[in-house]
Amino acid sequence: MLRRSSSYEALRTRFDWDLPDDLNMAHQTCDGWAATDPDRTAIIDLTSGHRRDVSFGTLYQLSRRVEAGLVARGVMRGDRVGVLLSQGPLCAAAHIAAWRLGAISVPLFKLFQRDALASRLGDSGAKVVVTDDEGKGMLRPFDCAVLTQKDLPDAAMATRAAVGTGPEDAAVLIYTSGTTGKPKGALHGHRVLTGHLPGVEMSHDFLGQPGDVLWTPADWAWIGGLFDVLMPGLALGIPVVAARADKFSPDFADWVIATGSVRNVFFPPTALRMLKAADTRLEGLRSVASGGEPLGAEMLAWGREALGVTINEFYGQTECNMVASSCGSLFDPEPGCLGRSVPGFTVAVIDEDGQLTDQEGDIAVRRGAASMMLEYWRNPKATAEKYRKGWLLTGDRGIMEEGGFVRFVGRDDDVISSAGYRIGPAEIEDCLLTHPAVATVGVVGKPDPLRGEIVKAYVVLKARSEVPEQELQDWVKQRLASYSYPREIAFLDALPMTVTGKVIRKALKARAAAEGGNS
Ligand code: ATP
Ligand code: MG
């Protein structure tokens, strides 16, 4: 665990990855606690609409039953096991069971439609999928064995001896969000969970204070749900709330927090924007972490007032997560920056030659960090392209500021080049979001014969709001720079979003390019 410190510098210099030769995430998240403290609460299960506390002992028994079911279906070390389940004890147990067998779990999202499931099942070659009745129906067209709660054998049937694994042995194959292209499978070893812990602890202002209880509305099929919340909570012995809503709403968040005694939440920025748009206030939270998209100055200010906390923005990606973070109890966040390197990581901004630069450049992570993937699944070419001279390239652009704060400019492909200026969409979106009528916004470059590209903003207004285009343009001009204001603004009812709630700028860009003829 991260030892509490009063100085960020001390925290960093004191830190050391202490990876044992024997490492298995099943032991880390469940078996260890089940042996030493079986009555300790692992999961606060609200999925039935009532609260049921599930102990580590109970979780262990459930995982042993899943394990027995997997063994009966011939699962061996290295086989892929799909987990098509939303938040709930069985989802956790399925991953744990696969890991105990030395198999590779593959989180799958319940909202995937046929093609999305087909590509991931095909690419991963999953032998068995652990799911529920609904998932069983979804899987009917595919050629893979299925295991549901009803099929689970008795735990006593799990007789195979635990498989010895180490930090570099494959454990989980997790697909990226597909914001910029086809989702890529990032293969991680058993060290991936250890690699997440310092960042999770930091982004929750030293997670593990008495009374801490974790929750996220993000699905456990994504790196943000699975490795920023569920598995770190289990590993650190902090109860994790499981809850299910078909659609996130402020009332739902309020109910979960009250019923589950939640104190620590990871809210993706989309969820925060929905809370803010509805003027929600939430009581009783000790820490709120957010990441996956830029948070923005406006949200930071709102969080202090409506949630009573300084929201800690963190940064990372499916391939290498939780690499930078803020920590309100250690230092003031720098609005527009995604935090500072988490202990154990070196996040830098590098140029074409892999040298550090104080100009805008590629955000990169020093190779060797514990949460770094082993490789892209069966794709050596993509793996090779992911690195430059000992650095993992995130594909994002940024500027290194004083004190090691990294300013997020935008994804490599999203940076707008207009009349010789390089303009990051993040800053303009953040600025437009401070306008009282704006609910969400996506900013992209639109091809322009004169300027190369112009800044185009797609804006969704708050219910019953109206605002002239000129007012929004002036809003940006007066706050940022005369060259970076959106020359064109279009008002939409909704923005194209990934299932993880990220704005798909690629789709907006295609739309802008197809529009043609501009001012
Ligand atoms: P794909 O790689 O398939 O296009 P994706 O990059 O959205 O999808 P993820 O791995 O889920 O898939 O997301 C990681 C990316 O999210 C980062 O590379 C970065 O672009 C963005 N991101 C994460 N945290 C932040 C943050 N705090 N601020 C800005 N952007 C962030
Ligand atoms: Mg990515």
Does 202 lie in the same domain as 300? Answer: yes
Does 432 lie in the same domain as 283? Answer: no
Does 227 lie in the same domain as 119? Answer: yes
pLDDT for 97 equals 97
- Angstrom distance (rounded) from CA 319 to CA 173: 10
pLDDT in tens, 42-74: 999 999 999 999 999 999 999 999 999 999 999
pLDDT for 127 equals 96
pLDDT in tens, 144-180: 899 999 999 887 766 666 789 999 999 999 998 887 7
- Angstrom distance (rounded) from CA 245 to CA 124: 28
Q: For the chain, what is the domain count?
A: 2
- CA Rg, the chain, in Å? 23
Q: Which is higher by pLDDT, 116 or 69?
A: 69
C-beta atoms surrounding 250 within 10 Å: 17
Q: Which is higher by pLDDT, 275 or 452?
A: 275
C-beta atoms surrounding 517 within 10 Å: 4
Domain end marker among 371, 406, 441: 406
Does 494 lie in the same domain as 374? Answer: no
Does 213 lie in the same domain as 85? Answer: yes
- Exposure letters 142-163 (e unless 16+ CB within 10 A, then b): eebbbbbbeebbeeeebeeeeb
pLDDT for 517 equals 67
Domain end marker among 406, 427, 457: 406
Does 442 lie in the same domain as 372? Answer: no
- 518 token code pair: 């501009």
CA 429–ligand 1 middle distance (angstroms): 16
The protein residue whose alpha carbon is closest to atom 3 in ligand 1 is 178
CATH number at residue 34: 3.40.50.12780
User: What is the overall mean pLDDT for the chain?
Assistant: 94
Closest ligand to the CA of 175: 1
Residue 15 lies in a domain: no
Which pLDDT band, with edges at 50, 70 and 90, does 101 fall under? very high
Residue 366 lies in a domain: yes
pLDDT for 519 equals 46
Residue 372 lies in a domain: yes
Amino acid at 403: G
- Angstrom distance (rounded) from CA 381 to CA 376: 9
CA 222–ligand 2 middle distance (angstroms): 13
Does 344 lie in the same domain as 287? Answer: yes
Percent of the chain, pLDDT > 70? 98
Percent of the chain, pLDDT > 90? 81
CA 264–ligand 2 middle distance (angstroms): 26
CA 420–ligand 2 middle distance (angstroms): 27
Domain that holds residue 211: 23-406
DSSP SS3 for 382: helix
Which pLDDT band, with edges at 50, 70 and 90, does 277 fall under? confident
Cβ 180 under 6 angstroms from ligand 1 = yes
Closest ligand to the CA of 504: 1
